[in-house]
Amino acid sequence: MVAYEFYRGDRKNGHHLIGILPERRKHQERISEESIMKWVKLVIGDNADTSDIFFVKVTFGESEAEKGSPVWREERNEAGGTA
């Protein structure tokens, strides 16, 4: 099972968990950074600043969980992908 953990980045006081979104889409081609970030905007509001929000893709296996690398919004390149 795949899920995304959302954090508000605070380099001075640490990172704060906003929420966890389990991935339920069967069609992998529909999953993008933009579609994942839409969920956090629903939680914190469309007008909120999301520049300091990042997510970590977490994979839960039968015996253990694996965490991926954080994806910071500011790391996106001009093409919209991650750097």
Residue 25 identity (one-letter amino acid): R
Q: Tell me if residue 29 falls in helix, strand or coil.
A: helix
pTM: 0.66
Where do the domains of the chain lie? Answer: 2-75
Q: Name the residue with tokens 């006081």.
A: 13
pLDDT at 62: 55
pLDDT at 63: 53
pLDDT at 79: 45
Name the token pair of 16.
């704060």
